[in-house]
């Protein structure tokens, strides 16, 4: 027996003992730091107790044996029949580590990858050691409905002690309290106050398009839509006009917001990586820049006072409705959320709508007919436009901008939860990915085809499967999108006039066929340029 054998055995025993003890926190990311701090010194202490004179080799041996056996023990447990999710089918590697999805997530392919997994393994898939994805229609209400699951680590990991948190990262009563103000800010009555802003920004974009489309020059409509939605949102949220539509975002505001959201959301799928990334100076710097931007917006809005009833007006309770006043830092965080949540999403939905309509001449014809008649009736006020609404809705079904959706988590302090007959232990992360749910044939007939008429009255007989409650691009339940009404309004306003004023076609040389593969899924959905040639119709 070599002199290091007792040390190796002790390190192995210590590794196993640690796993048996810390296993209870397997699904508790709040304990990540505690566990790391506790583990790190243990092999060193073991060597120090056993060793009389100092030498490096025993330390290396002890650390290697300790972490090797700890890792092996974790893996064996996760793939064993004793793990509570052992009965849920899924790729073998997903049982061991969530790290396997990192490359997929970072490449923006998550939504498409999730669909492949469901095609292969069925409606319930284990997508990580402690993560399950559902695409069955009944899962939507079971997970997002009244007795469903709250948001969890995907969101809470982003909150920092002492820093303001936005609505998206809150749960329970705090969420409810803050959501009441948001509901006021984006309810039917308030939406009327935003009509002028939407009309002004629509005019501004039309001027730019008229200029840029001269001589048949192709235009990247996605980029133009992002500028439009950013300008609408910064005005609606803070009464601030950046004019990025006119300047073509020369100062890079939109780019900054999109880049920030992208990188932060990739990391949120791996809480420990998120923690570690906080130590990277670049990430810390960008986070600081965003806060600085938000504070600057807030300060100028606060100085200007209530000149319009914008989102800030309601979130700050400038109309004095409440006894418990909102705090400035939380309203700053919520204000910037409005811009982030409302910029990429609506722009993505409009891009997809144009792309689908242009690829389906029969839909294009019907749409132009509806819009022509509507403008002929009254050039200044839009009617209901049910066909355009159906075209947008169908685009949102096939290309939901938040394609994998916001995960939920079984509460860590409870007994676990049974969802559709599957027991999920406390702390399990649960996904209901809209991209896959919308393409499930049990939820929608001919699910991969673009058929706007499925959303029109009287279409039931043609579409035997039409579970509209499984249409979840805005999520579902108490924490679903509060900006849905505003998004609908601005999309209808812009697209109706765009289809009325211009004939649109894909630019020569533009690969329309594969454009949809450029749509990435980073919780937001950045996409490649949508190159369109506009020809004035009137
Ligand atoms: C087509 C456009 C849009 C889509 C597809 C969309 C989608 C979503 C989704 C899926 C969620 C839930 C996310 C989660 O649970 O993690 C959400 C939440 C939210 N959205 Fe939207 N959104 C859109 C437009 C907007 C607009 C224009 C605003 C304007 C302010 C907005 C503000 C918000 C806010 C504040 C939340 C958080 C709600 C809460 O936590 O209670 N969204 N959105």
Q: Give CA 123 to chain center in angstroms.
A: 21
Give the up-direction half-sphere exposure of residue 37: CA atoms within 13 A in the CB hemisphere. Answer: 5
**484 CA distance to ligand 1 middle (Å):** 7
Q: What is the Å distance from ligand 1's center to 340 Cα?
A: 9
Look at residue 52 in the predicted model and tell me its pLDDT: 66
Beta bridge partners of residue 522, listed in sequence order: 524
- Residue 83: the pLDDT is 95
Looking at residue 1, its pLDDT comes to 55
Using a 6 Å cutoff on CB, does residue 287 contact ligand 1?
Answer: no
The pTM is what? 0.93
Q: Which residues are annotated as a binding site for heme?
A: 481
Blockwise average pLDDT, block size 10, the chain, 538 residues: 80 92 85 88 89 80 93 95 96 92 90 98 96 96 94 85 85 92 95 96 97 93 97 94 95 90 81 72 78 86 85 91 87 89 96 98 98 93 94 98 95 93 95 98 97 94 94 96 97 97 97 97 94 94
Q: Which two tokens stand for residue 254?
A: 């939109």
CB of 336 closer than 6 angstroms to any ligand 1 atom:
no
486 Cα: distance to centroid of ligand 1 (angstroms):
10
Q: Is 486 in the pocket of ligand 1 (CB under 6 A)?
A: yes
Work out the end-to-end distance of the chain between its first and last CA atoms, rounded to an integer number of angstroms.
93
Residue ranges of the annotated binding site are: 481
Q: What is the rounded CA–CA span in Å between residue 371 and residue 407?
A: 38
- Quick one: which of 46, 56, 37, 48 has its CA closest to 8? 46
Q: Give the ipTM.
A: 0.99
Q: Whose CA is nearest to atom 15 of ligand 1?
A: 406
| Separation between Cα atoms, residue 353 and residue 360, nearest integer Å | 11
- pLDDT in the model for residue 5: 86
- From ligand 1's centre to the CA of 380, what distance in Å? 29
Give the C-alpha separation, 202 to 105, whole Å: 34
State which of 153, 341, 477 you would mutate to test the pocket of ligand 1, scoring each by most atoms of that ligand within 8 A of its C-beta.
341
Question: For ligand 1, is residue 398 a contact (CB within 6 Å)?
Answer: no
Q: Is the CB of 475 under 6 A from ligand 1?
A: yes
User: Which numbered atom of ligand 1 lies nearest the CA of 434?
Assistant: 10
Decide: 45 and 100 in contact? Cβ < 8 Å: no
pLDDT value at position 101?
85
Ligand 1 centroid to Cα of residue 488, in Å, is 12
The Cα–Cα gap between 187 and 176 comes to 15
- What are φ and ψ of residue 513, in 5° steps? -55, -50
Counting ligand 1 atoms within 8 A of each CB, the residue from 336, 345, 349, 525 with the most, and so the one to mutate, is: 345
Q: Would you state the pLDDT for residue 13?
A: 92
Strands (E), 63-222: 124-128, 131-134, 219-220
Comparing C-alpha atoms, which of 252, 228, 237, 345 is closest to residue 297? 237
């Amino acid at each position: 027996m070599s002199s290091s054998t007792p040390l190796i055995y002790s390190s192995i025993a210590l590794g196993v003992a640690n796993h048996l003890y810390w296993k209870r926190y397997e699904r508790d990311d709040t304990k990540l730091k505690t566990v790391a701090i506790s583990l790190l010194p243990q092999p060193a202490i073991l060597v120090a107790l056993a060793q009389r004179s100092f030498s490096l080799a025993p330390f290396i041996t002890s650390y290697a044996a300790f972490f090797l056996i700890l890792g092996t023990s974790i893996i064996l447990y996760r793939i064993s029949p004793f793990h509570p999710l052992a009965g849920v089918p899924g790729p073998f590697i997903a049982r061991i580590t969530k790290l396997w999805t990192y490359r997929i997530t970072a490449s923006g392919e998550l939504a498409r990858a999730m669909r492949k997994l469901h095609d292969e393994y069925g409606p319930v898939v284990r997508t990580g050691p402690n993560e399950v994805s559902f695409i069955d229609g009944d899962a939507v209400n079971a997970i997002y409905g009244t007795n469903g699951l709250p948001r969890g680590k995907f969101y809470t990991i982003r909150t920092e002690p002492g820093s303001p948190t936005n609505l998206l990262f809150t749960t329970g009563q705090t969420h409810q309290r803050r959501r009441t103000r948001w509901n006021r800010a984006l309810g039917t009555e308030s939406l009327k106050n935003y009509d002028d802003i939407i009309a002004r920004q629509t005019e501004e974009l039309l001027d730019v398009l008229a200029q840029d489309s001269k001589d048949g020059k192709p235009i990247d409509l996605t980029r133009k839509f992002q500028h439009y939605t950013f300008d609408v949102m910064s005005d609606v949220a803070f009464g601030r006009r950046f004019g990025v539509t006119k300047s073509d975002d020369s100062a890079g505001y939109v780019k900054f917001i999109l880049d920030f959201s992208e990188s932060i959301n990739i990391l949120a799928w791996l809480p420990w990586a998120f923690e570690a990334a906080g130590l990277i100076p670049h990430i810390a710097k960008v986070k600081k820049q965003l806060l600085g931007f938000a504070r600057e917006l807030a300060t100028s809005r606060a100085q200007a006072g209530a000149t319009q009833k914008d989102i800030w007006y309601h979130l700050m309770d400038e109309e004095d409705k409440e006894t418990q006043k909102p705090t400035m830092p939380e309203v700053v965080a919520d204000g910037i959320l409005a811009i982030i949540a409302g910029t990429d999403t609506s722009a993505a939905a409009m891009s997809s709508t144009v792309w689908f309509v242009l690829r389906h001449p029969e839909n294009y014809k019907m749409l132009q007919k509806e819009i022509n008649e509507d403008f002929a009736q009254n050039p200044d006020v839009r009617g209901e436009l049910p066909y355009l609404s159906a075209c947008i809705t169908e685009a949102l079904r096939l290309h939901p901008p938040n394609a994998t959706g916001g995960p939920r988590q079984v509460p860590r302090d409870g007994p676990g939860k049974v969802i559709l007959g599957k027991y999920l232990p406390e702390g399990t992360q649960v996904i209901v990915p809209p991209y896959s749910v919308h393409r499930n044939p049990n939820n929608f007939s001919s699910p991969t085809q673009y058929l706007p008429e499925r959303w029109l009255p009287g279409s039931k007989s043609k579409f035997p499967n039409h579970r509209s409650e499984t249409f979840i691009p805005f999520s579902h339940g108490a924490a679903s999108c509060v900006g849905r009404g505003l998004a609908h309004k601005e999309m209808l306003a812009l697209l109706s006039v765009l289809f009325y004023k211009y004939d649109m076609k894909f630019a020569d040389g533009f690969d329309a066929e594969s454009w949809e593969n450029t749509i990435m899924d980073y919780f937001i959905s950045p996409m490649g340029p949508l190159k369109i040639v506009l020809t004035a119709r009137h």
